[in-house]
Amino acid sequence: MFKSASLLLLALCACTTDPEDTAPPVVDTDDTAVDDGLLRVTILHTNDWQSHMLGWGPNAEYSPDTTDDDGTFGGLARTATLVQEIRDSSTHPVVLLDAGDWMSGSLFQLLATSDAVELQMAQAMGYDAMTIGNHEYDWGPGMLGDIIATGNAKGVTVPLVAANIVPSATDPADDSLAAHLDSGRIVPSLVLTLDNGLEIGIFGLLGDEAASVAPASAPTSFDDPTQVATDMVAELEGLGVDLVLGLTHAGVTEDAGTSPDELMAEEVPGIDVIVGGHSHTPMGEYRTAGETGTVIVQAGAYTAWLGQLDLVTDGTGWVVEGYTLHTIDDTIPGDPAITAMVDGFLAELEAGPLAALGLEFDAPVASIPASMPLAECTETALGNLITDAFMDRMNQVAGDPIAFSFESQGVIRDGLTQGATGVQAVSDIFRVLPLGYGTDDVPGYGLVDFYVTGAELLDTCEVTASISPSYGCSYFIEVAGMRCNLDMERSQFNRARTVDAWQDGAWVELDTTSDALHHVAVDSYVASLMGILESLTYGAIVITPKDASGQPYTSTTDMLFDADPDTAGVQELKLWQALMDYAGAFEDSDGDDVPDLPGSYSTPAGRIQGWE
């Protein structure tokens, strides 16, 4: 465990410390000059890659071969360079870990089943262990099992550590995943024996909240993470390891009272370090959990950061010597071998899946008037663009026009960065809405349409007003065709006051007491989670998707929007496809043969009133 004040400190420096200080002290040392007989380890960590081989920013501007000439952030080639520099300069062992969600977020995910590209990249970069996040289940547990099998066939041996996966005993849909548990390819825990003799015991977990937003994981379920963590700590301590590390995909929040990793650390004594993911939090400083002293770290998302935790022990306790959250930017040259691997995968992507979809990775789609960042818990110009795109594209073919459309901020995964030219390519647009897998075997959630009452429209506004403040910004709802009028001074579940509809160029208040039905659209993922709203609010918010006659739907599949009614079967309209088609439908106003989004998308349109 960590020492709050110890003889170890006295051995490291001529200093004093407050014995009541519960945070492990940070001691600055020069690694090359240390010869004190103490044992050290550096833990490098990432999380939530989500297939971002190239990082953030317009992909066409990413230049890993050169430095100081682009504004993009991230990229595995740059990360690999920094990892190797730290390894080469260290006088003690360096461990590289990932806390899950390594796939599902960019066009490279289209090679998951054929090449397991994310796992191949982890192998090439020398990861010592990875856990499995909720987005690894986006295509179902059976597909996840197939992806891991593909990685095995490609020579991937990076340990996958996940302790609370429970395959179905009766449903064969997750048999391929269960096979990896049975064979030991996925293990609950492992012990790393380092060159200096230290033994690190690592266990992996998927948190409750992360599991709750992974509906495609069925029929796989997950044991209680707190109980499993307790069992793992006892097992690893029984093996006599020097340090117990939880590799968790659960998340942190600003409030320690609701922060999953901190709550686990408080409830499970014996965890020395938690390396976490899921909440995409770039933690510039490590945290410690109350009485247990567990050190908690997380490194943002999308390969834009690398965390570095430096630890030292005298054999009786641990001290943090330093923590750095490295920004991965254009000051770091890309590793040539990793760059070559990514280029090879890109060529394969162009020739295979993208060609089949009639797309090109770097083909320009539209130019944006300003950066449209991915912001949380506030209305955004990006959210306006997305929901407008849903309505516009669906109404190209809908018999009964879509009146309103919605999107949860949790489904919006990336913003649009203006960059040097403003031009956004196919790959940039796809990253905004990349999640899911359809009934048509094409990646991406499909749009659905259904009918709701005016009261349920008001409840949609109430989700933003009353659920997102407590449960996170994933529940903040962006809207089109309507305006939510909120009073945040009122009590929870009574904050949405009125709903306005945009009619004939003006906002008109809707009668939310009428039984009249309104035609609406959202994505299939959000539609599948409608029941969660009722349970989260103990029945205060109930939104029931209905058909045009008012009969409730019983299956999300039945709600799928058919983008081509003249063709047999349902032709899904993917979220990314609707956004791409809408953005590409604007006029070219400057003669560069690239459509230009209007300036109105530079700022939010004011569709959520009273939130601030």
- Among residues 119, 95, 333, 134, the alpha carbon closest in space to that of 218 is found at 134
Where along the chain do the CATH 3.60.21.10 domains lie? 40-337
Band (pLDDT 50/70/90 cuts) for residue 351 is very high
367-426: pLDDT as tens digits: 999 999 988 899 999 999 999 999 999 999 999 999 999 999 999 999 999 999 999 999
Which has the minimum average pLDDT: 27-41, 89-103, 290-304, 339-353? Answer: 27-41
**Encoding tokens for residue 57?**
């920013």
* Assigned token pair, 80: 């690999």
Contact 609, 484 (CB under 8 A): yes
Where in the sequence of the chain do the CATH 3.90.780.10 domains occur? 363-608
Distance CA 504, CA 509 (A): 13
pTM reported for the whole predicted model: 0.90
Residue 477, pLDDT score:
97
| CATH H-level, domain 363-608: superfamily | 5'-Nucleotidase, C-terminal domain (3.90.780.10)
Question: What pLDDT sits at residue 612?
Answer: 77
Structure-model confidence comparison of residues 256 and 86, the more confident one: 86
Q: Would you state the CATH architecture of domain 40-337? A: 4-Layer Sandwich (3.60)
Work out whether the CA dihedral 209, 213, 214, 218 comes out positive or negative.
positive
Higher pLDDT, 168 or 5: 168
Asked whether the CA dihedral 145, 151, 153, 159 is positive or negative, the reply is negative
List of residues 6+ apart from 425 with CB closer than 8 A: 58, 59, 60, 361, 362, 363, 364, 365
User: Which band of pLDDT confidence, cut at 50, 70 and 90, is reported for residue 608?
Assistant: very high
